[in-house]
Homo-oligomer: A and B are copies of this chain.
Amino acid sequence: MAEIRQNPATKEWVIIATGRVKRPEDFVRDEPEEALPHHDGNCPFCPGNEGKTPPEIFSNKGKDGKWTLRVIPNKFPALEPNGQIDREEASNFFRRMDGLGRHEVIIESPFHDASLGLFSLKETLEIVDAYKRRYCDLITDNRFKLVTIFRNNGKGAGTSLEHPHSQIVALPVVPVHVRNRLESAMRYYDDHGHCVFCRMIGMELKSKKRLVLKNDDFIAFEPFASRVPFETWIVPLRHQATFGEISKKEMKGLARILKSLFEKFYRGLNNPAYNLIVRTAPTGDEGEEYYHWHIQVIPRMTTSAGFELGTGVYINVSLPESSAEFLRKV
């Protein structure tokens, strides 16, 4: 019999299709990995092509004076930074605003064939540091209500450029998708008097069945109601609502857990396509007791179809407990 499970934080149901469940090994990417060149003269993110990108926001330099990480505005931004919030009167049936916002790119390495799964701890910490610096800078602009950091790994995850990079978008609105998650967490808090994510951490540490990694500051686990095979959540142990609240020490813990997790993804699953999303509370919600920022990693091994789009219920053909065991052993 299949099983229907609910995520206690989001209230989303998933169907664990035990009748057609696959083994973790079945999800290892089997096509030969594309051998990317170490340097690609046509790639705008490769050294030597700095002039092809908009002027950088900042970069880190190594001892040899060469850059190791660059942050730039997106050359083809979804949103543009100039202008004021121009929200038409709510009396209009169709509501629209100017596309105000920020869209930035973090070029994570000078090497075209680098991969988050193979970065050193130092390199991973540089990425986390760039996330924090840009997040904390962008939230000082009070036109922006939500700052979302994400990473698309591989063509199957929607990336157009293979050179390793993350993206940051600052939005002038809090989207309903995010509001719904905040509201769900708020309702749990109002019912129980504590944060649903803190409780989830406690449950996962106690049962250990879905645990993948843990250090002094972070935990990584396969959620009880994982929507897709190898969905993984990385959650700070200390309660904090927004990503900007991460401490220096915790940044190191995050870098360590990211490095270990993506090394497991790279070696154990052959570098699958995935999206990484930093889910944070909106700007202004610092210190909020009901929400707890976390990273959601969504591998793209299956294609969502009409049922998922129409109901929001995902049919997962893997057992989170088996996926976690598989990843622990890699």
Chain A residues engaging chain B, CB cutoff 8 angstroms: 1-6, 8, 10-13, 15-20, 76-80, 83, 93-100, 146, 148, 150-152, 156-159, 167, 169, 171-173, 175-178, 180, 184, 199-200, 203, 224-225, 275-279, 296, 298, 303-313, 315
Contact = CB atoms under 8 A, between A and B. Distances in A.
B150 A8 contact: no
A313 B96 CA distance: 14
A174 B241 CA distance: 29
Given A3-B99, A158-B303, 19 more contacts: A2-B78, A2-B80, A2-B98, A3-B98, A4-B96, A4-B98, A4-B99, A5-B96, A12-B177, A15-B99, A20-B76, A158-B306, A167-B307, A169-B311, A178-B311, A275-B306, A278-B310, A279-B310, A298-B309
A176 B180 contact: yes
Contacts of A20: 76
A159 B305 contact: yes
A261 to B, nearest CB: 16
Chain A interface secondary structure, helix, strand, loop or mixed?
mixed
A78 B312 contact: no
Nearest to A96: B5
A5 B172 CA distance: 12
B296 A176 contact: no
